Amino acid sequence: MKEFYTNINKKVYYITMLVLIAIMIMGLFIGNPRMGEHGAGFILHVVLIVILSVCLLLYPRYVTRVFRMIIMIVASVYFYTLFFLYPDTGSTFIFLCFIPIISILFFDAKLFYFSLVLNSVSIMFTFSYIVLVSQGYYFIKQDLIGNVINFIGSQVIIYFVFYLSYGRLKKQLLYYEQIKQTERLKISGQLAAAVAHEIRNPLTVVKGFLELYEKDTSVSDDIKRHYSLMIGELNSAEYVISQLLSVAKPNKDQEMETVNVKNVLQSVTDLLHSYGLLHDNNIDLNVTEECFIAANTIEFKQLLINIIKNAMEASEIGDSVKITADMKNDFVEIKVIDYGHGMSEAEVGSLGTPFYSLKSKGTGLGMMICYNIAEKYKGTIDVQSSKGKGTTVTIRFPSKNNTIWSKGNSYIKK
């Protein structure tokens, strides 16, 4: 598809250039006052047309900044030569005003600014020459100030055109890159899900047999130790696979409930306390008021577990992780604060990228799942971290405080 467009663009480019070259040749031979002279001026005109034509036709083969710069300079020299060779042709002044437009065609910002400055300096010298030395150019001399103002005006307009079109093009390129990245992620996600699904079944069978052998009394304890090690490894493989599947195939029809944030936080911290004991970290939970959000409880728990687990894993032995939940305007704001090793700005930027992990046994899927869940329920996750000092993860979900979930599966307005 891309090649198709490039071919079309190349075709348009060559046709346009051939038309331009034809116009330049027409200017050279039709009604040219210097044609009969065959003097140095006419020869210079011919040479410049040849050089410029060759450069323009060769450009698609050498798309480099140096080559663009060469075209720019040759074109400037060509237009200024026309201006000086044919002092009676007032319209060549228009070309001098238009010179920076050439770099807009190339979409090269640096070249544009370079040509804008070069052109302004050249026009200053040209006008000085006209006023101080030259006998001709009455159309400029008669209203010098007016011509200078017109020139400045034309450069401002060109700058404005460049600024708008360049900004739009950059945005489009960025958008195109994002679409490409999303498409790539989608395809790799589907592929990973398909592979994960196929791997899960044989894994379950192998694990089942190992568990069976582990209970076999005829097997020696030494070998049994190997079995439990193998089961442990299979468990982590299963965990990775289930995480992968939940990213690639997010369950669309998860039931929305009104979730009591305080209760969920309490149960999650209870669950993670046992994990924390292994790491010797304390969880310091501080929720003052009852807050409610609309989400699926299991998914919300998964989000909290991932983030709190990360905080505990980043913390030093003995340090505690602080969790707070408050109402902020129409949002429930949960903060998970740790005083662990923290992250650099680049590391924070990479959070949520699939398989990005700095842990030897990390899956690098935890934060991606969290971002997906938050996005699904119109929530946000904001990470602030400083290397060596700690991390604060702020989770915001739209509050659902005016409705309370009753046991009869219906909402009661407060």
Interaction between residue 366 and Mg ion (CB under 5 A): yes
Q: Which CB atom, from 72 or from 307, has the smaller least distance to ligand ADP? A: 307
Cβ within 8 Å of residue 332, ≥6 positions away: 261, 291, 292, 293, 325, 326, 396, 397, 398, 399
The contact pattern for ligand ADP, residues 354-393, with x = CB under 6 A and - = no contact, is --xxxx--xxxxxx-----------------------x--
Q: Which CB atom, from 75 or from 312, has the smaller least distance to Mg ion? A: 312
Place of tokens 């702020």: 394
Report helix, strand and coil shares of the chain as percent, to nearest 5: 65, 15, 25
Contact between residue 118 and residue 126 where contact means Cβ atoms under 8 Å apart:
no
What is the spatial distance between Cα 46 and Cα 152, in angstroms, rounded to a whole number? 30
Cβ within 8 Å of residue 351, ≥6 positions away: 343, 367, 383
Its sign, for the CA torsion 362, 366, 367, 368, is positive
Task: Find which of Mg ion, ligand ADP, none residue 115 binds, CB within 5 to 8 Å per kind.
Answer: none
What is the spatial distance between Cα 134 and Cα 137, in angstroms, rounded to a whole number? 8
The contact pattern for ligand ADP, residues 317-356, with x = CB under 6 A and - = no contact, is ---------------------x-xxxx-------x----x
Task: Find which of ligand ADP, Mg ion, none residue 13 binds, CB within 5 to 8 Å per kind.
Answer: none
State the DSSP H helix or E strand holding residue 413, giving kind and residue range, or none if neither: strand 411-413
Which stretch, 61-69, 186-194, 253-261, 303-311, contacts ligand ADP (CB under 6 A)? Answer: 303-311
Interaction between residue 276 and Mg ion (CB under 5 A): no
Interaction between residue 241 and ligand ADP (CB under 6 A): no
Task: Find which of Mg ion, ligand ADP, none residue 311 binds, CB within 5 to 8 Å per kind.
Answer: ligand ADP
Q: Which CB atom, from 119 or from 246, has the smaller least distance to ligand ADP? A: 246
Task: Find which of ligand ADP, Mg ion, none residue 333 binds, CB within 5 to 8 Å per kind.
Answer: none
Q: Are strands 331-338 and 320-328 parallel, antiparallel or unpaired?
A: antiparallel
Interaction between residue 310 and Mg ion (CB under 5 A): yes
**Residues at the interface with ligand ADP (CB under 6 A):** 306, 310-311, 314, 338, 340-343, 351, 356-359, 362-367, 391
